[in-house]
Structure 1
Amino acid sequence: MRKIATAAAGLSLALGAGLATAPAAHAATPCPSGAVCIRETDGSILSRNIFYSYGYHNLSNVTGYRVIVNNQTGGAGFQVCYEYNGGNCSDVARDTGEYAPYNMTPIDSVVLVR
């Protein structure tokens, strides 16, 4: 839990202030192994917001405060980007697990990195 809180604090600093709590565990849909997922506000995960392949993934209609889950293996990470096609990105986040919710409204793409 400490690792998640530390990683969340670092990512929140990079992206702006986020909320302090994640959806309740009993209401959250699990993110598949090997993927990065973006949770809906109700804790569910839409299939269009599950990413497996390295590289950029442009987002559509992902707004408001959301939780990103990094369930990749082998130390792979992700970045959130303020431009489509992986432009103007945050630092790479490599810790696995849930990150504190933050505002996805200005985020246009997510990049999966090795």
Structure 2
Amino acid sequence: MALALGALGLAVAPTASAATPCPSGAVCIRETNGNILNKNIFYSYGNHNLSNVTGVRVLVNNQTGGAGFQICKGYNGTNCYPVQRGKGEYAPYDFTPINSVVLVR
């Protein structure tokens, strides 16, 4: 199953069994070692600024009800890529230029 992530070229990937699970209702950014730090678990709609999230990471959308997310180059949800609503893990992506994540209904 491949769901393109707009212009980013990301795709939904199968969940790795050794990786920390993303809680139901959240969007998470997985560290390179498979762990998810508490600071990178997002539940509330709106923008979330990132701190020290660089390099290749995996984003996981485990929201319910068809909720989506955007990743943004600017802080406070500015200069964003299109909304994505696919549930599951997305292919690894370089988060170095990404400074915020926005959760949308």
Note whether the superposition's TM-score is higher than 0.5. yes
Equivalent residue for 1:75? 66
Equivalent residue for 2:94? 103
> Contact conserved, 1:58 with 1:84, CA < 8 A, in 2?
yes
Equivalent residue for 2:24? 33
Give the percent of matched residue pairs that are identical in Structure 1 and Structure 2: 74
Distance 1:83 1:106, change over 3 A: same
Q: Secondary structure at the match of 2:17?
A: helix
For residues 43-94 of structure 1, the C-alpha deviation after alignment (integer angstroms, 9 at most, x for no partner) is 0000000000000000000011110000000000000000000000010010
TM-superposed deviation, 1:23 = 9.0
Q: Secondary structure at the match of 1:85?
A: coil
Equivalent residue for 2:40? 49
Distance 1:24 1:35, change over 3 A: closer
> Is the aligned partner of 1:87 residue 2:78?
yes
Distance 2:35 2:14 in 1: 10
Query: TM-score if structure 2 supplies the norm length?
Result: 0.92
Q: Which runs of 4+ in 1 moved over 3 A?
A: none
State how many pairs are aligned.
105
Equivalent residue for 1:14? 7
RMSD value, Cα? 2.0
> Contact conserved, 1:38 with 1:67, CA < 8 A, in 2?
yes
TM-superposed deviation, 1:35 = 0.1
TM-superposed deviation, 1:108 = 0.3
Higher helix share: 1
Distance 1:69 1:55 in 2: 17
Structure 2: which 5+ residue stretches go unaligned?
A: none
